[in-house]
Amino acid sequence: MTRSQPTKRRRRIGLWLLLIAVVAVQVVYWQDPWFWRNYVRFFQSGDPTGVEMLPPGEEIRGDDSYVLPVAAPEQRTVSAAALADMERFAAEYGSHALIVIHKGVIQDEWYAPHWQRDLLTQSQSMHKSLMGLFVGMAIADGKIGSADDPVGQYLEEWRDDPRGRITLRQLMQMSSGLAQYAFTLNPFTDDNRWLNSGFSGDVMLRTPLADWEPGTRYDYNNVNSELLGMVLVRVYGQRYSALLRDRLWLPMGGERAFVHTDRPGGRAYTSCCLMAPAMDWARFGMLLLNRGEVNGRRIVSEEWFREMITPSPSAGFYGLQIWLGYGDPAVPPEHAGSSGAIVPGPFLARDTFMTWGRGQQHLFVVPSRELIVVRLGPALGRSPIKPGFDVTYLVNAAIRGLDP
């Protein structure tokens, strides 16, 4: 045997191993290509001045029929000094948009120099509050019997599973007893795949139970809102984007929006990732301020709206997929989120409630003052907002600025 033969053999083995590795990578990639695209995107920082689209997505088109009146400067019922202070605060924390509405009239519509009125903002968990609304619609439509129905009645995969006994109300109140997915960079675990997989619904249905009884504690869990979205899609037999368009966006006279899906034609995410202009969140605020009615149309009953903003037994600051600022402080500090928020005290109006998304995406509604405040800004990346954002500041500033 010549000295070159072992070298040739090693080369052949190396080539075969390389070929096997290439084939293995191809097989793993094509089993779930959108997972790997999302996984790579995870390491890219968000753009604090750009539109943070998450592909793929499905467009929703409203008819832009609901146009709120705008107060002339001399007719504003919130003082110019208060509005200027709110704009200053919004700019300090890198906001895209700030809208202040009193008694159905726009007092201030402010956009940062890098932003425009029709640009789409990233909702993050503001989207969850729509789940509470839609469950009420489905009950009124006879698609769901009751908020206390077990989820296994609507998700056949859990019909004979202990998880199937979790009620829809427990999902909405964040007291389901389902385990939390931990943060990890390991791409081969469900802890990563629940949010990034192109087959995310399969991962949601694999979520195990935690070690506590459903209904006995509050535990904010994105999977709860995703399961509610899956229930709604099944009971209506429609894609979520069509349901959102037909039952909310068109009736409320909204504009153009997008929902994020796990793959083209796949499942829509319903715990986050609804793209819409700031004014559409103002329209949704009018729906909540008017106890389920907007643009001359009744979306949900007043009775259901009251259920949405009733504190849950396990958390006085949370209702049915919506945050309640009734206490002092408005939200316990340990539940104020992970993106730098502080809650130093109460809202001046203790009936304030809100939607809340990562990066301090907020819609505040204050029924006793007929007040709505929308604040939106960067939502993606490792640090979408600088620490120190006072969740109560904008609402309290507006209340102080109201005419006697």
Contact assessment for residue 243 and residue 233, using Cβ atoms and an 8 Å cutoff? yes
Question: Looking at residues 96-102, what average pLDDT do you find?
Answer: 98
Query: What is the pLDDT, as a whole number, of residue 168?
Result: 98
Cα 26 to Cα 355: distance, rounded to the nearest angstrom: 42
Specify the higher pLDDT residue, 337 or 201. Answer: 201
Contact assessment for residue 218 and residue 180, using Cβ atoms and an 8 Å cutoff? no
In this predicted structure, the answer to whether residue 14 has a pLDDT above a threshold of 90 is: no
Contact assessment for residue 157 and residue 322, using Cβ atoms and an 8 Å cutoff? no
pLDDT (tens digit per residue) in 182-198: 988 898 899 999 999 99
Strands (E), 127-278: 256-260, 274-276
pLDDT (tens digit per residue) in 118-158: 999 999 999 999 999 999 999 999 999 999 999 999 999 99
Contact assessment for residue 385 and residue 377, using Cβ atoms and an 8 Å cutoff? yes
Instruction: Write out the CATH class of domain 57-400.
Output: alpha beta
Cα 295 to Cα 68: distance, rounded to the nearest angstrom: 10
Give the SS3 label for residue 387: coil
Query: What is the pLDDT, as a whole number, of residue 20?
Result: 58
Q: Structure tokens of 125?
A: 């968990």
pLDDT (tens digit per residue) in 354-378: 999 999 999 999 999 999 999 999 9
Query: What is the pLDDT, as a whole number, of residue 48?
Result: 92
Element (H, E) at 225: helix 222-236
Q: Structure tokens of 48?
A: 């604090």
| pTM of the shown model | 0.94
Contact assessment for residue 304 and residue 140, using Cβ atoms and an 8 Å cutoff? yes
Query: What is the pLDDT, as a whole number, of residue 1?
Result: 55
In this predicted structure, the answer to whether residue 6 has a pLDDT above a threshold of 90 is: no
Q: Structure tokens of 191?
A: 């802890």
Cα 291 to Cα 63: distance, rounded to the nearest angstrom: 22
